[in-house]
Amino acid sequence: MSWHGINPISLFPPERCDDWGLDTTKQTQVYEGEPAYIQCPLFEHYLKFNYSTAHSAGLTLIWYWTGQDQDLEEPINFRLPDNRISKEKELIWFRPTLLNDTGNYTCMLRNTTYCSKVAFPLEVIQKDSCFKSAMKVPTEYIYLQHTLQIVKCPNIVGFFPPSVKPNINWYMKCEKVNSFNQVEVNGTELIFTYALTSNSGLYTCVVTYPENGRMFNLTRTVDVKVVASPHYATPPHIFYPNDDIIYEKEPGEELELPCKVRFPFLKDSKSEIWWTIDGRKPDDTMNVTVNQSENVSVIGDKTITRVLSIKKVTSDDLKRNYTCHARNAKGESVRRATVKQLVVPPRYTVELACGFGVTIVLIIILIVVYHVYWLEMVLFYRAHFGTDEAILDGKEYDIYVSYARNAEEEEFVLLTLRGVLENEFGYKLCIFDRDSLPGGSRYSHEQWLEKPVFSSPASELGLVLFPAST
Tens digits of per-residue pLDDT, 247-271? 988 898 889 999 999 999 998 889 9
What average pLDDT does range 105-122 have in this prediction?
91
**Residue type present at position 193:** T
- Please report which confidence band the pLDDT of residue 221 belongs to, taking 50, 70 and 90 as the band edges: very high
- For the chain, percent of residues with pLDDT exceeding 90: 36
What average pLDDT does range 43-62 have in this prediction?
84
pTM exceeding 0.85: no
Burial class (CB in 10 A: 0-12, 13-18, 19+), 65: buried
Domain 139-227 homologous superfamily, CATH: Immunoglobulins (2.60.40.10)
Does residue 71 have a pLDDT over 90? no
Residue 417 DSSP label: I
For residue 441, what pLDDT is reported? 46
From 452, 425, 422, select the one nearest 434 (Cα to Cα): 422
Between 393 and 73, the higher pLDDT residue: 73
319 phi and psi, to 5 degrees?
-100, -5
- Please report which confidence band the pLDDT of residue 393 belongs to, taking 50, 70 and 90 as the band edges: low
Summarised one tens digit per residue, pLDDT across range 419-445 is: 777 777 777 778 766 776 554 444 445
From 388, 33, 453, select the one nearest 215 (Cα to Cα): 33
CATH number of 234-341: 2.60.40.10
- Give the contacts of 330 (CB within 8 A, at least 6 positions apart): 233, 234, 235, 264, 266, 269
Summarised one tens digit per residue, pLDDT across range 23-44 is: 888 899 999 999 999 999 888 7
For residue 12, what pLDDT is reported? 44
For residue 235, what pLDDT is reported? 94
What average pLDDT does range 4-12 have in this prediction?
40
What ranges do the domains of the chain cover? 8-125, 139-227, 234-341, 345-385, 389-465
Long-range contacts of the stretch 283-291 (C-beta < 8 A, 24+): 287/311, 287/312
For residue 11, what pLDDT is reported? 42
Give the other-Cβ count within 10 Å of 448's Cβ. 19
Does residue 154 have a pLDDT over 80? yes
> What is the Cα–Cα distance from 109 to 19, expressed in whole angstroms?
11
Contact 410, 466 (CB under 8 A): no
- Please report which confidence band the pLDDT of residue 10 belongs to, taking 50, 70 and 90 as the band edges: very low
Domains 139-227 and 234-341 are alike in CATH topology? yes
- For the chain, percent of residues with pLDDT exceeding 70: 84
Between 50 and 202, the higher pLDDT residue: 202
Lowest mean pLDDT among 248-262, 314-328, 448-462: 448-462
For residue 394, what pLDDT is reported? 65
> What is the Cα–Cα distance from 270 to 304, expressed in whole angstroms?
12
Summarised one tens digit per residue, pLDDT across range 334-374 is: 999 998 888 766 666 767 788 888 999 999 999 988 888 88
Between 345 and 120, the higher pLDDT residue: 120
Give the other-Cβ count within 10 Å of 198's Cβ. 9
Rounded to the nearest integer, the mean pLDDT of the chain is 82
Residue 134 DSSP label: S
Does residue 456 have a pLDDT over 70? no
Does residue 9 have a pLDDT over 50? no
What average pLDDT does range 131-149 have in this prediction?
89
**What architecture is domain 8-125?**
Sandwich (2.60)
For residue 453, what pLDDT is reported? 40
For residue 457, what pLDDT is reported? 37
For residue 135, what pLDDT is reported? 87
From 23, 14, 29, select the one nearest 119 (Cα to Cα): 23
Does residue 157 have a pLDDT over 80? yes
The H or E element that residue 79 is part of is none
Between 96 and 449, the higher pLDDT residue: 96
For residue 437, what pLDDT is reported? 53
